[in-house]
Amino acid sequence: MKQIIAPSILAADFSNLSAEMEMINRSRAEWVHIDVMDGAFVPNITFGAKVIKTIRGLTDKILDVHMMVEKPERYFDDFKNAGADIITVHLEASPNLHRSLQNIKDIGLKAGVAINPHSNVMLLEDVLNIADLILIMSVNPGFGGQSFIERTYEKLRILKKMLKEQDVDPYVEVDGGVGLENAAKLLEAGANVLVSGSAVFKAKSPIKYIDKMVNA
Ligand code: DX5
Ligand code: ZN
């Protein structure tokens, strides 16, 4: 699988959202990563269904919604109606993770599970056969612009082995502190979707930056 680049809209200029989306539309990014934060699971608050719907109106790309939210199941229907394609919930916020993933699939969306830097990737063993996407957090969730945690490579390698053992092939996404300096190494360790916020939006030419990530 050729890698997918998912610019994180969290780092975009919201006073100029339609221009930022136009840039993404013209780029080789296939997904748009949307960070929903509730101020409880993580310290920060961002946006919800209304902004997802606005973004849906500005692009035909895949909307990859990362829910950093307690009791995320309260919002699955709203987010689907707003135009989400993928909904990812956190292992740490999901006491009934298997059911949550199944519920997302039942409404016709792709279901992802995210794990925090402190969580052992082995905890995912019993949902690998139902998850469409595994998101390995390479920073502690809550903010853009943090530094990449090196341990992520090892987690990706362990995950790759687990996927092989179960003969399943979900998307493997990495999120936090990702840019050209670590893209190739992440892909080699087993990632195939790279989320990138500040690196893309701070680049002199975000379109060229995305291009380089696609070729990493
Ligand atoms: C962090 C978010 C990330 C964030 C990444 O909690 O989940 O998606 O936007 O931003 P950068 O690429 O700046 O680390
Ligand atoms: Zn994210």
pLDDT at 1: 72
Q: Which member of 60, 77, 175, 211 is catalytic?
A: 175
Please name the helix (run of DSSP H) or strand (run of DSSP E) that holds residue 17, with its range, or none. helix 17-26
CA of 145 to the centre of ligand 1 (A): 7
Beta strand 86-90 with 110-115: parallel, antiparallel or unpaired?
Answer: parallel
Nearest CA to ligand 1 atom 7: 141
- Tell me the longest C-alpha to C-alpha distance in the chain: 47
Q: Is the CB of 8 within 6 Å of ligand 1?
A: yes
Residue 65 DSSP SS3: strand
Q: Tell me how far apart the alpha carbons of residues 40 and 69 are, in angstroms, rounded to a whole number.
A: 7
Q: Which residue has the tokens 């780029």?
A: 27
Q: Which residue has the tokens 């950093």?
A: 68
Ligand 1 atom closest to 137 (CA): 7
DSSP one-letter code for 14: G
For the question of residue 38 being annotated catalytic, the response is no
Nearest CA to ligand 1 atom 9: 144
Q: Tell me how far apart the alpha carbons of residues 127 and 124 are, in angstroms, rounded to a whole number.
A: 6
35 DSSP β-pair partners:
66
CA of 3 to the centre of ligand 1 (A): 18
pLDDT tens string for the chain (216 positions)? 789 999 999 999 999 999 999 999 999 999 999 999 999 999 999 999 999 999 999 999 999 999 999 999 999 999 999 999 999 999 999 999 999 999 999 999 999 999 999 999 999 999 999 999 999 999 999 999 999 999 999 999 999 999 999 999 999 999 999 999 999 999 999 999 999 999 999 999 999 999 999 999
Q: Tell me how far apart the alpha carbons of residues 24 and 59 are, in angstroms, rounded to a whole number.
A: 8
Q: Is the CB of 84 within 6 Å of ligand 1?
A: no
pLDDT at 43: 98
The answer to whether 134 and 124 have CB atoms below 8 angstroms apart is yes
Q: Which residue has the tokens 């919002």?
A: 75
For the question of residue 64 being annotated catalytic, the response is no
